[in-house]
Amino acid sequence: MNSKQAKQILVDNLWFNNPIFIQILGICSTLAVTNLLSNTVIMTLGVTFATAFSSWTVSLLKNLIPRRVRMIVQVLIMSFYVIILDILLKAYLPEISKSLGPYVGLIITNCILMGRAEGFAQGNPPAAAFWDGLTSGLGYMWVLLTVAFFREFLGFGTLMGYPVAPKGFVPWTIMVMAPSAFFMVGTLLWISKNIMAAREKAKGGKA
């Protein structure tokens, strides 16, 4: 993997092929935790960790795994890393582990992990697969952090638990509840699509 290829993967995963904007993958387990910024940071770090390492492992083992059973083997590899993550969280961050509840375990069925394992790690060398998993996780992270930023700020008037809203700010209770997550992600999709379309247009105009 040379540096040009590495940069290409980074840009693709952060923007052009962002797992959330383009592929709408993996929002299942994480929307639920985006009403608090601190939970989201831990959760998305966890997803990044699990994606990077499981892509790396899948890529290392790709010639050893029989094609017929590769899905289940991939799921087992992912579960392995998620269990490590779960134990680490329980040991060092018991509070957050408790408030994340079942959603840590649900990283296993996060479609991003499977998508990257099937779509990239299966046909690429381990180092590239690791980098791809890592950047996919980061692409996922910045989108969800944006969602969490607005949800916590508007819903509680705090950021990372510290009150930042001006006095007399009335929290928007709806932002704490489920529907706002859908609205936020929908709106972000809209904005990103518009930016992409505008850029395409500019490019087309020049050429």
Partner 1 sequence: MTPNIAPLTLFFASIFTSNILLANFLGMCSFISISKDLKSANGLGLAVTVVLTLTNAVNWVVLRYVLIPLDLLYLRFIVFIIVIAAVVQMLEMIIDRVSPPLYMALGIFLPLITVNCAILGAALFMEIRKYDFVQSVVFGLGSGLGWWLAIISLAAIRKKVDKAPVPAGLKGPGITLITIGFMAMAFIGFSGMLPVQ
Q: Which residues bind partner 1 (CB under 8 A)?
A: 24-32, 71-72, 75-76, 79-80, 82-83, 86-87, 101-102, 105-106, 108-111, 114, 174, 177-183, 185-187, 189-191, 193-194, 197
Q: How far is the CB of 179 from partner 1 (least distance, A)?
A: 4
- Give the residues across from 106 on adjacent strands: none
- What token pair was written down for 39? 């939970």
3-state secondary structure 24-58: CCCCCCCHHHCCCHHHHHHHHHHHHHHHHHHHHHH
Q: Which is nearer to partner 1, 72 or 127 (CB)?
A: 72
Q: Which is nearer to partner 1, 6 or 106 (CB)?
A: 106
Q: How far is the CB of 157 from partner 1 (least distance, A)?
A: 21
Q: How far is the CB of 163 from partner 1 (least distance, A)?
A: 26
Amino acid identity of residue 58, one-letter, is V
Q: How far is the CB of 162 from partner 1 (least distance, A)?
A: 26
Query: What does the radius of gyration of the chain's CA atoms come to, in whole angstroms?
Result: 19
Residues 176 and 77: their CA atoms lie apart, in Å, by 34
